[in-house]
Amino acid sequence: MESILKVEHLEKYYGNRGNVTKAVDDISFTVTQGEYIGIMGASGSGKTTLLNCISTIDSATAGHIFIRGQDVTQLKAKELSRFRREQLGFIFQEFNLLDTLTAFENIALALTVIGTPAKEIDGRVHNVAKRLEIDSILGKYPYQLSGGQQQRIAIARAIVNEPRVLLLDEPLGALDLKLRQDMQYELIRLKHELGITFIYVTHDQEEALTLSDTIVVMSEGRIQQIGTPIDIYNEPINSFVADFIGESNILNGLMIKDKQVSFAGHDFECVDEGFGEQAPVDVVIRPEDIYIFDPSEAAMLTGTVTSSIFKGVHYEMMVQTPEGYEFMVQDYHCFEAGQEVGLLVKPFDIHVMKKERVCNTFEGKMIDSTHVEFLGTTFECNEVPDMEPDAPVKVEVDFRHVILEDNEEDGKLTGEVKFILYKGNHYHLTVFTDWDEDIFVDTTDVWDDGDRVGIRIAPENIRIIHN
């Protein structure tokens, strides 16, 4: 199919030379005509900045954006203004309707600005209003309309000029659940009827899975994975995607050999190959893929139900195994808290992923034989003989040997907890240090996203490797 949007090595930085924030960092992808693209990510992941660059509202620091073959990063201001009017439509979370204009006038505004003849405006507005079933309210003002009606007016305004690409930034976030679901189906219908390409930013997993042909998952300004909703859900590329899209049990594992993996204190048959032997991996099991039943010889794992909650279409149960691992299980049958149960997972429901990292690794330099500098801080280490001052070294620290303190002053350096991943019997944290570099921590302590912490590492837990 024809490519309508192509993003090549896009970068967007904010700040000055001394304090630069990479909002979008080397992003590339292609969108075909009529495709519905959902861009997902947590707050601060760069998804809205990416959308603003595509929409030409914001300028890129580097890279190129081609829309219908036109490199919009090279257009001058006057050319950009015309390009937006002719090629792009916008729908944002805030409807931005003008209270002094009727629904008809709000929809017609873009056409009026570019001098479209009145007869053509009237025809276009009534045509799109009929399509969205709002032709009976065109004479009303925004304050006289419900939230759903206002949203339909905003959509009508965005598509009345028949754009090639429709850009949507959390457009349903201000609606209640029922209205949001209704509008999801409305957007799908419009996409099929109009053939417009949709670029849709959302943090809502269900919304992205429901609406999108293709999902782009972002974190820290980078694309983590691109794929169909089924691929993203069933075959997440890393633990971030597995945790972000849907519910997951994510555990540390060891690939014993092809089609055999160990986790939670047991060996399991799987279908994955090519990871090598005795290789550390991450294992993902979706809660709905775990069979739960009364204890029997068929059980691969046994455990005790610690909580059971009815979720409308299934029960969500937490099961603690004797080995100290916790599993989330979703099933139509209820097992009450305190019950002993058996668990079973079929080989094709065990998803094995390559670990992104097995320990913290930093570039550093020796200060003297018992001190090393990394992360902008000097740490004491075990004596390294025959090491010259200022010699460059690689520093390794195991995740479990990084200690976090409530009091920032108790740490050698400080940082902020920004990503928390539960791994079945411990938490794997990403801490953004004040040296603008991440450090990863395994801990059984409970921390919240955004917590400020002090960071300590004992001398004996710092490994120095000669460069």
Please answer whether residues 424 and 408 qualify as being in contact, where contact means their C-beta atoms are separated by less than 8 angstroms. Answer: no
In the structure, what pLDDT confidence band is assigned to residue 113 with cuts at 50, 70 and 90?
Answer: confident
Per-residue pLDDT, 64: 94
In the structure, what pLDDT confidence band is assigned to residue 373 with cuts at 50, 70 and 90?
Answer: very high
Per-residue pLDDT, 95: 79
Per-residue pLDDT, 355: 93
- Considering only CA atoms, which of 112, 76, 110 is closest in space to residue 90? 110
Per-residue pLDDT, 18: 59
**Residues β-bridged to residue 427:** 422, 443
In the structure, what pLDDT confidence band is assigned to residue 65 with cuts at 50, 70 and 90?
Answer: very high
* Over residues 39-56, mean pLDDT: 89
* Over residues 154-181, mean pLDDT: 83
Separation in Å, CA 106 to CA 125, 126, 136, 219: 10, 13, 15, 36
Per mean pLDDT, which of 111-115, 168-172, 280-284 is the most reliable? 280-284
Residue bearing tokens 């912490």: 453
Q: At residue 402, does pLDDT exceed 80?
A: yes
Q: At residue 174, does pLDDT exceed 80?
A: no
In the structure, what pLDDT confidence band is assigned to residue 386 with cuts at 50, 70 and 90?
Answer: confident
What is the average pLDDT value for the chain, to the nearest integer? 91
Long-range contacts of range 367-373, CB-CB < 8 Å, 24 or more positions apart?
Answer: 370/459, 372/462, 372/464
Per-residue pLDDT, 459: 97
> Strand pairing of 88-92 and 70-71?
unpaired
Handedness of CA 373, 378, 381, 383 (dihedral sign): positive
Per-residue pLDDT, 1: 63
Give the separation between CA 383 and CA 374, rounded to whole angstroms: 16
- Considering only CA atoms, which of 232, 233, 350, 230 is closest in space to residue 285? 350
Maximum CA extent, the chain:
87
Containing 415, the helix (H) or strand (E) segment is strand 413-422
DSSP state of 135: G
- Considering only CA atoms, which of 317, 312, 314 is closest in space to residue 336? 317
Per-residue pLDDT, 199: 93
* Structure-model confidence comparison of residues 303 and 111, the more confident one: 303
Q: At residue 15, does pLDDT exceed 80?
A: no
Q: What is the DSSP string of 56-101?
A: TSS--SEEEEEETTEEGGG--HHHHHHHHHHHEEEEESS----TTS
The answer to which of 92-96, 136-140, 175-179, 247-251 has the lowest mean pLDDT is 175-179
Give the separation between CA 132 and CA 31, rounded to whole angstroms: 26
Q: At residue 463, does pLDDT exceed 90?
A: yes
In the structure, what pLDDT confidence band is assigned to residue 323 with cuts at 50, 70 and 90?
Answer: very high
pLDDT digits (tens, 9 = 90+) for 188-246: 888 888 888 999 998 888 888 888 999 999 998 999 999 999 999 999 999 999 999 98
Structure tokens at 449: 């996203």
**Tell me, what amino acid is at 97?**
L
Long-range contacts of range 307-316, CB-CB < 8 Å, 24 or more positions apart?
Answer: 307/337, 308/334, 308/335, 308/336, 308/337, 310/334, 314/288, 316/287
Per-residue pLDDT, 178: 76
**Residues β-bridged to residue 305:** 319
Helix axes 147-159, 103-113, angle to 10 degrees: 20
In the structure, what pLDDT confidence band is assigned to residue 314 with cuts at 50, 70 and 90?
Answer: very high
**Residues β-bridged to residue 255:** 261, 279
Q: At residue 467, does pLDDT exceed 90?
A: no
In the structure, what pLDDT confidence band is assigned to residue 76 with cuts at 50, 70 and 90?
Answer: confident
Separation in Å, CA 165 to CA 54, 103, 195, 273: 10, 23, 10, 41
pLDDT digits (tens, 9 = 90+) for 237-289: 999 999 999 899 999 999 999 999 999 999 999 999 999 999 999 999 999 99
The answer to which of 92-106, 310-324, 428-442 has the lowest mean pLDDT is 92-106
